Amino acid sequence: MSGVSEALSRVKVGTLRRPEGPPEPMVVVPVDVEKEDVRILKVCFYGNSFNSGKNFKLVKCTVQTEIRDVIASILLSGRIGPNIQLADCYGLRLKHMKSDEIHWLHPLMTVGEVQDKYECLHVEAEWRYDLQVRYLPEDFMESLKEDKTTLLYFYQQLRNDYMQRYASKVSEGMALQLGCLELRRFFKDMPHNALDKKSNLELLEREVGLDLFFPKQMQENLKPKQFRKMIQQTFQQYASLREEECVMKFFNTLAGFANIDQETYRCELIQGWNITVDLVIGPKGIRQLTSQDAKPTCLAEFKQIKSIRCLPLEEGQAVLQLGIEGAPQSLSIKTSSLAEAENMADLVDGYCRLQGEHKGSLIIRTKKDGEKRNSLPQIPTLNLEARRPHLSESCSIESDIYAEIPDETLRRPGGPQYGIAREDVVLNRILGEGFFGEVYEGVYTNHKGEVINVAVKTCKKNCTLDNKEKFMSEAVIMKNLDHPHIVKLIGIIEEEPTWIIMELYPYGELGHYLERNKNSLKVLTLVLYSLQICKAMAYLESINCVHRDIAVRNILVASPECVKLGDFGLSRYIEDEEYYKASVTRLPIKWMSPESINFRRFTTASDVWMFAVCMWEILSFGKQPFFWLENKDVIGVLEKGDRLPKPDLCPPILYTLMTRCWDYDPSERPRFTELVCSLSDIYQMEKDIALEQERNARYRPPKILEPTAFQEPPPKPSRPKYRPPPQTNLLAPKLQFQVPEGLCASSPTLTSPMEYPSPVNSLHTPPLHRHNVFKRHSMREEDFVRPSSREEAQQLWEAERLKMRQLLDKQQKQMVEDYQWLRQEEKALVRRKPSKGRERTCPDTTAGHLLFLNNFTYFFYFWLCWVFVSAHGPFSSCGKLLYICNAQSFHGSGFSCCRAQAFGSLGFSSCGSQALEHNLSSCGAWA
């Protein structure tokens, strides 16, 4: 096992090093700075601090500096700890921050090779270099005890992975144990019973934060008091442990949930036939795991491996070949990508260096230009470094949109060839990147001298003949198409590099156009886009052509009112066949019908399904369908009967049409000719609705905007004035109880001025004086209107008293007239039919009527006075006596019958009533 000194012995002559004194940051400097390209790498590492922003080191190097020298400079700097013995356990990882792309850098690679091979694929700022402990000794727990720095570094690395990947998956008990172990380790000088005090725990929570020790999800599920109690109880179990004991306990506890000393890869073993297994690589060798419960089967030990080779395959796959000592053939492992195969090769090679007898690399290098390289094979960059900064956002291909469905057969389309001169096309900026190459904006000059803006699709120079035929198949399809809503093909250049020249549309892809203009686009326009694409698909249906990739990313916007269907790279003629069976290619799973996913069966009915998904995209302003699912989960959702939900702005009748297109049975789906008719009707209906809304908005009266400060509701409109009927006899037969106009309110004085006119006439009628105009209030209204002063009350009383006197005089006069009329009628009756009994009864009856009317008048007047007095709270005590005294001017026969009731209603007791009556009688108040 080599140390840091052995690693430094491989550093070049131009490397500077301080031999004595405390550890200093290692600076790698070239001999001739003017001849070599100097770079500064920012390498991140794990530290015993919560401030992760300071855990990095800048390493100055050249393009010829090897990765092992960069690692050695960090270990010698002392930033991660002193006295590192297990230097061969460390590796350097290159991680892309915006994706899951990871590359383990082989120690013999140079910085320049890393730059040309990996960094050019993305922006430099999106990459991060991480120092990791990757290669572990066979008995790593005992071996790491000899190197405390590496032990703590591996613990911090493992704990970081736990918090990011496993913390939300473990049980609450395990999460509490692991969190308390870190508490004990980090605060190693803290007293054993420190957390028993509530104030200490609150301080820890406030100043440090419990999120660094315990998963956030567990804190949200538990009540704070309960959570603190559980921490105190669990911490007591580990309060006496030392730092190294906490680390070992952490390893043992987490090992029961996850593999902490090995890496697992999902791959295929090639042994005459392909077997999908989980390949486990760790200190114990290379083993396969066919199921989770099964015991791993050892395939090879690291001491038996003699060679390692990575071979790329088509479609991005690769094969890792391991030469085994004594085996008749090498162990072949098929991976999903070349990067995964290289990561496995670096892992196996690292364990061979750590456990094997030799310290060199077992990876067999490829030859280039007749010379054997001393580094890993280089991936062609295709000049992406110079072109990548000019790529637009709309050109990136989402890796989760297309997935592969393999097939053993291959259909290769053919067709007539035609072309244009390359010198007639001038390329400008890059618009994007496709499967086969870049897409450029250009200018084409035809034979008439007309200048046309075009889009040029290019094919890579080193592509295979098979890929070139696939690239040309789009042109073969498009040259026979002629429709106003299909992208127009200008020409083809078949000589390498192969170009396809098409008409350029300035508004770009429909998906990005919808996202940019979603606030201004109307439903009518979205339905129009759907109708235009449906017409294009009906045209393809008529010529027996399936598109297989109908989506907003493949639709171009020619104008705000016109879209065109493009990208016929997956299109095929089905001719007389009922369906087309797809070959090995990348297909848009989330847009495909169930039969296309399961059986690679493509028909016009499957295009109908995809067209409905495309309509859903349009009505959702470019959202990806099933964006909440992975490709592998889509078919399960579809087979359960679930479909895409209705977009918010989608008309219900249009969504109903979508669901018809998403019928599981292809024969039940409508054809495009029927869809064109249905969409035309929906478009006309939406157009009529839009015209009606515009018409209503045009003739709508202007809206009165009130200030935002007024939050109270508007006042209720005033009630209409009461119009009393014509005055008649109080005993009119048509009314049970008819009173004069003065009795329409609770009291004659309960009138109020119209100071607050109704909203109808408030803008035209000036406010009126209080004493001139009055409105009526009913008894059910909240309050009576009170006079503002004693003088005003007296004036109101005098006016009402005069009015009442006139009314009573009028009634008395009418009573006299009635009495005279009755007397005349009585005399007339006596003359017609003389009778003594009649003569005696008639006067008595008439007198009784008169007595009743008299008493009723007095009683009514008294009641009216009592109501008036009750309504004037400030003058109730004086007013009551005043009005009783004023009653002396009337006859006491009717009034005296109500004296007891009057005093009782005024609030006097029986004794007080007699005394008051006596005093009033002495004053002549009572008749």
- Bridge pairing between strands 331-335 and 263-270: antiparallel
Query: How far apart are alpha carbons 366 and 347 in whole angstroms?
Result: 19
Residue pair 514/552 in contact by the 8 Å Cβ criterion: yes
Per-residue CA distances from 624 to 158, 195, 552, 590, 784 (Å): 36, 50, 9, 8, 68
Peptide bond preceding 787 in cis form (omega within 30 of 0): no
Query: How far apart are alpha carbons 300 and 872 in whole angstroms?
Result: 110
232: which residues sit within 8 A by CB, 6+ positions away?
195, 196, 201
Specify the 3-state DSSP secondary structure of 694.
helix
| 270 membership: H or E segment, kind and range | strand 263-270
Angle (deg, nearest 10), helices 148-161 and 243-255: 40
Phi, psi of 335 (to 5 degrees): -115, 165
Helical ranges in 786-924 per DSSP H: 790-832, 836-871, 876-886, 892-896, 899-905, 910-922
Query: How far apart are alpha carbons 356 and 373 in whole angstroms?
Result: 23
Per-residue CA distances from 582 to 142, 403, 575, 587, 603 (Å): 56, 13, 15, 9, 11
Residue pair 61/69 in contact by the 8 Å Cβ criterion: yes
Helical ranges in 413-509 per DSSP H: 465-478
Q: Catalytic residue among 88, 147, 349, 549, which?
A: 549
65: which residues sit within 8 A by CB, 6+ positions away?
12, 28, 110, 111
Q: Which residues pair with 109 in a beta bridge?
A: none
476: which residues sit within 8 A by CB, 6+ positions away?
413, 414, 415, 416
- Report angle CA 439, 443, 444 to the nearest 5 degrees: 110
Q: Determine the residue type at 299.
A: L
646 is in an annotated binding site: no
Active site residue 549: yes
Closest CA to 500 of 484, 477, 516, 523: 477
265: which residues sit within 8 A by CB, 6+ positions away?
278, 279, 281, 335, 340, 344
Query: How far apart are alpha carbons 453 and 377 in whole angstroms?
Result: 41
What is the Cα 799 distance to its own chain's centre?
Answer: 74
**Length in residues, the chain:** 927
Half-sphere exposure of 729 (CA within 13 A, CB side): 10
Angle (deg, nearest 10), helices 604-619 and 652-661: 150
Query: How far apart are alpha carbons 591 and 609 in whole angstroms?
Result: 8
916-921's contacts with Cβ under 8 Å and 24+ in sequence apart are 920/884, 920/885
> In 10 A of CB 414, how many CB atoms?
9
Closest CA to 918 of 895, 901, 899: 899
825: which residues sit within 8 A by CB, 6+ positions away?
none
CA dihedral over 588, 594, 596, 602, signed as positive or negative: negative
Instruction: Please report where in the chains the tokens 């959202």 appear, as a residue.
Output: 623
Closest CA to 304 of 331, 323, 287: 323
Binding-site residue set for ATP: 457
Which residues are marked as active site?
Answer: 549
Binding-site residue set: 457
